[in-house]
Chain A
Amino acid sequence: MNARLADKIATLTFWVGALIVILILGSMIAYLLYHGGKYISWDFLTKPAQAIRAGGGIGPQIFNSFYLLFLSMLITVPIGVLGGIYLAEYAGNNKLTEAIRLCIETLNSLPSIVVGLFGLLVFVNMTGWGYSLISGALALTVINLPLMVRFTEEAIRGVPASLREASLNLGANHWQTILRVVLPSAFPGLVSGAIITSGRVFGEAAALLFTAGMSSPALDFSQWNIFHPASPLNPFRPAETLAVHIWKVNTEGLIPDLRRVADGSAAVLILVVLGFNMAARWLGSKIHRRMTGT
Chain B
Amino acid sequence: MKNSFVYKYLSLRNSESLGRFLTTMAALIAIVSTITIVVFISLKGLSTFTTNGVSLKEFLFSTNWLPDRPLAEGGPQVGVLAFIIGSLVVSMLAVLVSAPLSIACAVFIVEIAPYWGQRFLQPAIELLAGIPSVVYGYIGLSVLVPFIRDNIGGLGFSVLAGFLVLSVMILPTIVSMLIDSLKSLPRDYKEASLALGSTRWQAIRLVLIPAARSGLVTGIVLGLARAFGEALAVQMVIGNTRVMPTSILDPVITLTSAITMDMGNTPMGSLWNNALWSMGLLLLIMSFIFILIVRYGVRRGGISR
Residues of A within 8 A of B (CB): 3-4, 6-7, 9-11, 13-18, 20-22, 24-25, 28-29, 31-32, 78-83, 85-87, 89-91, 99-100, 102-107, 109-115, 117-118, 120-122, 125, 142, 145-146, 149, 173-176, 178-179, 196, 199-200, 202-206, 209-210, 214, 243-244, 246-247, 250-251, 259, 262-263, 266, 269-270, 273-274, 276-278, 281
Q: Which of A109, A110, A121 contacts B44 (CB 8 A)?
A: A121
Q: Are B135 and A246 in contact (CB under 8 A)?
A: yes
Residues of B within 8 A of A (CB): 12-13, 15-16, 18-20, 22-31, 33-37, 40-41, 44, 100-105, 107-109, 111-113, 117, 121, 123-128, 130-135, 137-139, 141-143, 168, 171-172, 175, 198-202, 204-205, 222, 225-226, 228-232, 235-236, 256, 259-260, 263-264, 268, 277, 280, 283-284, 287-288, 290-291, 295
Min C-beta distance of B74 to chain A, whole Å: 29
Q: Are A21 and B102 in contact (CB under 8 A)?
A: yes
- Docked pose: A7 CA to B27 CA in angstroms: 50
Q: What residues on A are CB-neighbors of B259 within 8 Å?
A: 113, 117
Q: Are B229 and A112 in contact (CB under 8 A)?
A: yes
Q: Which of A32, A80, A81, A209 contacts B264 (CB 8 A)?
A: A209
9 A-B contacts, Cβ less than 8 Å apart?
A11-B201, A18-B104, A29-B128, A112-B231, A145-B33, A203-B130, A250-B138, A273-B130, A277-B130
| Known A-B contacts A25-B172, A173-B16; A203 and B132 likewise in contact (beta carbons under 8 Å) | yes
Min C-beta distance of B125 to chain A, whole Å: 8
Q: Are B112 and A31 in contact (CB under 8 A)?
A: no
Q: Are B264 and A145 in contact (CB under 8 A)?
A: no
Provide the main secondary structure of the chain B interface: helix
Q: Are A250 and B236 in contact (CB under 8 A)?
A: yes
Q: Are B30 and A103 in contact (CB under 8 A)?
A: yes
The listed residue with most A CB atoms (<10 A of its CB), out of B29, B100, B198, B222, is B29
Q: Are A200 and B231 in contact (CB under 8 A)?
A: no
Provide the main secondary structure of the chain A interface: helix
Q: Are B138 and A266 in contact (CB under 8 A)?
A: yes
| Known A-B contacts A15-B112, A114-B280, A114-B284; A87 and B27 likewise in contact (beta carbons under 8 Å) | yes
- Docked pose: A175 CA to B18 CA in angstroms: 8
Nearest neighbor of A207 in chain B, beta-carbon distance: B231
Nearest neighbor of B19 in chain A, beta-carbon distance: A175
Q: What residues on A are CB-neighbors of B113 within 8 Å?
A: 18
Q: What residues on A are CB-neighbors of B13 within 8 Å?
A: 173
